[in-house]
Each structure stands twice: as structure tokens, then as C-alpha cells.
A and B are shown apart, each in its own frame.
Chain A
């Protein structure tokens, strides 16, 4: 079956521009997660969704970051007024019901802010 997909795979943008990153989870998975991985670093938790709701937004680095999920499926992570420190790989994962389940990761979106 299809795994988690993310688009675009690469995004180069100029400082100050807004970007949208998309995640398509595995069909039937109710939980969805966003992480950020800077070069050579571990995974930084950003936000997770249970259905369309985001019970925990504590990991979002600033108010320039927002995320939504619609129809219990696709999720979009939006970064407004991008800064160079936002450059990283943004990973999306989904799991069947929640964090007690195995998370299946997408290939990531590599964001470069010039």
C-alpha cells in the first residue's frame, strides 16, 4: 500500500516569503505528526494531529508556524515570513491511532531559505 508522501521534496525560497508543505498520511491513520530535522541533528517535534484537531501545539517554534489538517487526512504546514534558521528537513509521520503506535515517516521536504 501507499506510504506517507510529502510535497514538494525540495523547496528553495527567499527570506521573508511564505511556504506551504504538504503531507499525505497513510489512509486510515488518524494521527499525524510534523517534525523538523536540522542538518546532522535529531528530530524536533513540532505538532501532532488526532483527526483534524491538534491537542499539542507546544513544539511550534514561533507564531510564524502553523498547521492544519482537513478531512482527517492531508495536512499542511505553513511557515510565514521564512527566516534562514527555518532551513531544515521537515518530516511528516502518521500512525494508526496515536503515539503508542508505530509512526511511519514520509521522505521529508528539504527547505532552504536563502
Chain B
């Protein structure tokens, strides 16, 4: 079954701290896609990153970095030197290529609060 677990419901940090948001997924497909989305207080979900199951290279984009490890079925997201504007709900999502093609499963989200 397709499943995404974001164990951290809420995280609170002080500005400039580094923070890692965990995402663990379950799938039987060998081909699948992983995503992270950000939902700021304004409400609209914004795409952050997409990864396919064959690309385990970690990625860095400015203060954001992602660590994809198939061995532990994890796709963790790290924000370096957090800022108040990073405060949002972050969702990890999984799409399978075959078994549930077309359906995306989202985790319950992690609410990140960055305090000045």
C-alpha cells in the first residue's frame, strides 16, 4: 500500500537554526516519485522538489537540501539557517508509477514555526 509518514507534527525553532523534516514512505513499486510541497499561512501549496526513485542524488537549492535514501525509504528535507518566512506546513507526497498510478498520497504535514 502507498503510504507517507511525517512523524513530526510540529517543530519550533529559533531563526538561524537548522531544521530537518522527516518523511518516510512505503511502496511496493520500484518506480515512484517523491515530492515536497510548502503551504504557507496564505494557504496555497507551493511545489519545492520532485525526485524519481532512480535518482538518489541529494539536492541542494539555496538553504534547502534533500536527502533521499532508498535503503531506509526516507526523503528528508533540511532547511539551513532558517528564517521566519520558512514558517509553513510542509507536506511530503508519493506517487506510484504502476500500482496506484494517478493517485498521490500526502503525509499529514509538519508545521514549522520559526521564531525571530
Contacts and interface: CB of A to CB of B under 8 A. Distances in A.
Interface of A: 31, 33, 35, 41-43, 45, 48, 50, 55-56, 58-59, 89, 91, 93, 98-108
B50 A99 contact: no
Contact of B95 (A58, A91, A99, A104): A99
B102 A99 contact: yes
B42 to A, nearest CB: 8
Contacts of B33: 99-100
Question: Which 7 A-B residue pairs are closest in the complex by CB-CB distance?
Answer: A99-B95, A42-B108, A105-B45, A43-B106, A100-B33, A48-B102, A102-B47
A100 B97 contact: yes
B104 A99 contact: yes
B5 to A, nearest CB: 11
Interface string B80-97: 000000000001000111
12 contacts: A35-B106, A42-B91, A43-B91, A56-B100, A58-B103, A89-B43, A100-B95, A103-B104, A104-B47, A105-B46, A107-B43, A108-B43
Contacts of B104: 33, 45, 99, 103
B112 to A, nearest CB: 14
Interface residues of B, number: 24
A34 to B, nearest CB: 11
A48 B103 contact: yes
B35 interface: yes
Residue among B91, B104, B109 with the most chain A CB within 10 A? B104
B101 interface: yes
B10 to A, nearest CB: 10
Contacts of B45: 91, 93, 105
Contact of A41 (B50, B102, B108): B108
Contacts of A55: 102
A31 B91 contact: no
A103 B47 contact: yes
Contacts of B106: 35, 42-43, 45
Nearest to A91: B45
B110 to A, nearest CB: 10
